[in-house]
A and B are shown apart, each in its own frame.
Chain A
Amino acid sequence: MNNRNPSNGKDASPRALACIYDECADKLYRYALMILADASAAEDVVHQVFVKLLKMDHKRENIGSYDHYLRTAVRNECYRIIEKRQNKEIELSAVESILEFTESTASNEEERLIVEKAIRTLPPDQREVVHLKIYEDMTFQQIADLLGISLNTAASRYRYAMDKLRNMLETLKE
């Protein structure tokens, strides 16, 4: 294995971290955005995680896998923010949209808004599982391993999310 490969954690120079950022930031930001459903909070989370990593200096050499480390750090930071704002509802009109078109087929803006609104109604843990399953193509076993939950819990979170999305999409479309 190449020791200079930034994502294996051996090369800890700021330049290597910039490479890691280029490699992982997109995925991490989208992940944070789906958990938080708030673009500026997701930006803060990714910013904070990378700044902390930059400040770690020589301790960075102890990180085994940046991919796993960063994902866990982002996840922890997201749930810390959620816990902090527990009783503060975000006003939908006040936040930036979180979804973008991935294909130019028959999708329209109205449909995007409906899907976004439906996704926002899900609790963060269900949004997280939906994200990992749909947008990162993970299996329930991989999701369970990543989140430290049982396979059944991962599958049932997805099931609840699908039911809720179905209801919301039908209600919003009417």
Chain B
Amino acid sequence: MNNLNDNQIEALLRRFGPKGPPTALRKKIFESPKTHYSFRSIFWWSSIAAMLIISLCLNFAADGVAKDTAKLLGPSQTQWTPEAEEAAKLLDGNGWGRRYIAFALEMDKRNRKNFSELDPL
């Protein structure tokens, strides 16, 4: 193939040609177009499904923890001092701030009680 000119190269290329499509391709396209989901869409939908399952599991777990904590602490007998009221107000006035302060006061009470039981003095 020494010193091939353009015509010779073209003639050589013309002896061959790119292959045609496989016969199965037509079937693949036209037989069930509705079932052809792209990999990308499968990836996104499965991610969304996984996120939903995880959030449901976490929600159930959080409910369980809340119930266990309520059992452990028993009915709230928090003594609301003016300082505690002010701290709750600083957090958010009502709702979660108040509950958080109540929890902190209860834990503090229990710690003090445990500490006094352990301390020989």
Q: How far is the CA of A118 from the CA of B18 in the complex (A)?
A: 14
From A14, A25, A30, A48, give the contact of B17 (CB < 8 A): A30
Given contacts A102-B17, A115-B12, A162-B6, contact A173 B1 (CB under 8 A): yes
**Minimal beta-carbon separation of B102 from chain A (angstroms):** 57
What are the interface flags for B1-36 relative to A under an 8 Å C-beta threshold, 1 for contact and 0 otherwise? Answer: 110101001101111111111100110111001001
A86 within 8 A of B: no
Instruction: Name the CB-closest residue of B to A53.
Output: B29
The reply to whether B15 and A102 form a contact with Cβ atoms under 8 Å apart is yes
Given contacts A47-B28, A170-B2, contact A30 B19 (CB under 8 A): yes
A160 within 8 A of B: no
| Contacts between the two chains (Cβ within 8 Å), count | 96
The reply to whether A30 and B16 form a contact with Cβ atoms under 8 Å apart is no
The stretch from A61-69, A77-85, A130-138, A147-155 touching chain B is A130-138
Q: How far is the CA of A75 from the CA of B57 in the complex (A)?
A: 47
The reply to whether B15 and A105 form a contact with Cβ atoms under 8 Å apart is yes
The reply to whether B29 and A134 form a contact with Cβ atoms under 8 Å apart is no
**Minimal beta-carbon separation of A70 from chain B (angstroms):** 13
The reply to whether A169 and B12 form a contact with Cβ atoms under 8 Å apart is yes
* A residues in contact with B10, CB < 8 Å: 134
The reply to whether A26 and B21 form a contact with Cβ atoms under 8 Å apart is yes
Q: Which of A93-121 contact B (CB under 8 A)?
A: 97-103, 105, 107, 111-112, 115-116, 119
Q: Is the interface of A mostly helix, strand, loop or mixed?
A: helix
* A residues in contact with B18, CB < 8 Å: 30-31, 33-34, 98-100, 131, 135
Instruction: Name the CB-closest residue of B to A161.
Output: B9
Q: How far is the CA of A166 from the CA of B6 in the complex (A)?
A: 8
Interface centre among B13, B25, B33 (most CB of A within 10 A): B13
The reply to whether B29 and A47 form a contact with Cβ atoms under 8 Å apart is yes
The reply to whether A101 and B30 form a contact with Cβ atoms under 8 Å apart is no
From A21, A54, A111, give the contact of B26 (CB < 8 A): A21
A140 within 8 A of B: no
* B residues in contact with A48, CB < 8 Å: 38
Q: Which of B79-104 contact A (CB under 8 A)?
A: none
8 contacts between A and B (CB under 8 A): A14-B33, A33-B18, A33-B19, A43-B22, A55-B33, A98-B18, A98-B19, A103-B15
Interface, chain A (partner B; CB < 8 A): 14, 17-18, 21-22, 25-26, 29-31, 33-34, 39, 42-43, 46-48, 50-51, 54-55, 97-103, 105, 107, 111-112, 115-116, 119, 130-131, 134-135, 162, 165-166, 169-170, 173
